[in-house]
């Protein structure tokens, strides 16, 4: 307020460290390619031209976990795939977030049996659950924006 | 049945003691487990059945003994004749000789039968599970395997089920 009136002409803006770091984290969050089943098609179409996710900063999808910060679990996770998913989650560097996309990743979906994990939150901590079978691309983008708002409220003391 | 099937069916009946079951146009032959490889080899070499479509199994517990039937479906591509062989097996962990020597593509089919039903194949080159994780116990497609579903959480039992559920270590 006060100081910006004095030095604003020189192109200086004052803010808090929390805000700047959270803003930069949300605006360039790169998801990891983790499309397992049918929800992957909706994730691909959310990334493509009609429902563009690059508008929100998710310009690339990195296949390598070492270079991504968001894991969108799109699709059903079988018991054979579960240790693989946990290993990839462990390989992602902090800070990292997980979006459980679709019903199968949130709660097991239509598959209530011995072979499918009943919700991916049995093995990784999930930040945002997106419902739908599959969720429309707009629903996924709504979930991503909810995650952005969650990240913008993170506090200094709780940063990993 | 089709005319092209008749010589094969009659020969298998006489040589291997197969029973014939016909349903509309489909022909199934029931063969005893000791003779399965010889029957398949005769079909492949002498009667021109050159395509193994499927090797699968069915569990008829508790209505019938013997409990398992292993099914082979073979097709003759030239005459479009389809034949089914049933091999009845009993017991908890029965074993059968592998037909990988006759048709190498039976490799994965027999691994799937071992994974889902527990029927071992003697002489198989790679007898391990193919669908379930390697350390899984139990054979899922048997009729006495539990369904393995999770209990539905309502408001009245939410807390007690939630304590028993798995939660990740962060």
Distance between CA atoms of B24 and B29, rounded to whole angstroms?
14
- B162 part of a folded domain: no
pLDDT value for B55: 93
Residue B159 falls inside a structural domain: no
Contact at 8 Å (CB) between A63 and A88?
no
Q: How many domains does chain B have?
A: 1
B129, part of any domain: yes
CATH code, B64 = 3.30.460.80
Contact partners, residue A82, CB within 8 Å, separation at least 6:
A117, A122, A123
Partner-chain contact B168 A122, CB within 8 Å: yes
Report whether B108 contacts B83 (CB < 8 A): no
Looking at CA atoms only, how far is residue A125 from chain B in angstroms? 6
A vs B: CB pairs below 8 A: 33
Lowest mean pLDDT among A9-13, B85-89, B138-142: A9-13
- Interface check for A153 against chain B (CB to CB < 8 A): the answer is no
Strands (E) in chain A, as ranges, are 31-32, 70-74, 97-101, 128-130
Task: Tell me what ipTM this predicted complex has.
Answer: 0.72
Which residues in chain A have Cβ-Cβ distances shorter than 8 Å to B151? Answer: none
Residue B114 has pLDDT above 70, yes or no: yes
- Alpha-carbon gap, residue A14 to A7, rounded angstroms: 10
Task: Provide the residue range defining the domain that includes B122.
Answer: 6-137
Nearest beta carbon to residue A124 from set B136, B165, B168: B168
Name which of A82, A106, A115 to mutate to probe chain B: the one with the most chain B Cβ atoms within 10 A of its Cβ: A115
Asked if the structure places residue B151 within a domain, the reply is no
The alpha helices in chain B, defined as continuous H runs, are 6-16, 36-46, 106-117, 158-164
Q: CA of B153: which chain A residue's CA is closest? A: A107
User: Least CB-CB distance to B150: which of A115, A118, A123?
Assistant: A118
Whether B165 maps to a domain, the answer reads no
Q: What is the pLDDT of residues B120-166, one digit of tens each?
A: 998 898 888 998 888 888 888 888 888 877 777 788 888 888 887 77
B62 found inside a domain:
yes
Q: Does A94 contact chain B (CB < 8 Å)?
A: no
- For tokens 């493509």, name the residue: A48
With CA atoms as reference, the chain A residue closest to B164 would be: A122
pTM: 0.80
First-last CA distance in chain A: 31
Q: Within a domain: residue B102?
A: yes
Report the residue of chain B nearest A97, measured CA to CA: B170
Write the pLDDT tens digit of every residue in B4-62.
888 888 888 888 888 888 888 888 999 998 888 999 998 899 888 889 999 999 998 88
Nearest beta carbon to residue A113 from set B147, B167, B168: B147
Q: Which residues of B73-82 are buried (b: 16+ CB within 10 A; e: fewer)?
A: bbbbeeeebb
CB contact under 8 A, A80 and B147: no
């Amino acid at each position: 307020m006060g100081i910006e009136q004095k030095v604003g002409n020189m192109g200086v803006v004052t803010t808090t460290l929390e805000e700047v770091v959270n803003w930069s984290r949300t605006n360039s969050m790169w998801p990891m390619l983790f499309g397992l089943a049918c929800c992957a098609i909706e994730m691909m179409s959310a990334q493509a031209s009609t429902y563009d996710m690059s508008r929100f900063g998710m310009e690339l999808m990195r296949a390598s976990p070492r270079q991504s910060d968001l894991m969108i679990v799109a699709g059903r996770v079988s018991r054979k795939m579960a240790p693989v998913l946990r290993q990839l989650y462990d390989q992602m560097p902090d800070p990292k977030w997980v979006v459980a996309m679709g019903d199968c990743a949130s709660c097991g979906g239509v598959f209530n049996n011995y072979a499918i994990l009943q919700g991916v939150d049995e093995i990784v901590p999930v930040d945002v659950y997106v419902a739908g079978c599959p969720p429309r691309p707009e629903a996924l983008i709504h979930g991503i924006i909810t995650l952005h708002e969650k990240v913008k409220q993170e506090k200094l003391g709780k940063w990993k | 049945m089709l005319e092209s099937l008749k010589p094969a069916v009659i020969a298998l009946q006489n040589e291997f003691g197969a029973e014939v079951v016909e349903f509309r146009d489909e022909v199934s032959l029931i063969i005893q487990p000791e003779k399965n490889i010889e029957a398949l080899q005769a079909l492949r070499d002498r009667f021109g059945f050159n395509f193994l479509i499927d090797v699968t199994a069915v569990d008829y517990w508790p209505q019938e003994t013997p409990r398992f039937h292993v099914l082979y479906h073979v097709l003759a591509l030239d005459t479009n004749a389809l034949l089914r062989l049933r091999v009845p097996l009993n017991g908890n962990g029965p074993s059968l000789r592998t037909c990988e020597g006759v048709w190498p593509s039976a490799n994965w089919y027999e691994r799937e039968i071992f994974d889902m039903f527990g029927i071992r194949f003697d002489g198989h080159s790679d007898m391990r599970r193919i669908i379930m994780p390697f350390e899984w116990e139990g054979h899922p497609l048997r009729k006495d395997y539990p369904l393995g579903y999770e209990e539905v959480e309502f408001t009245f039992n939410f807390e007690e089920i939630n304590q028993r559920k798995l939660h990740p270590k962060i």
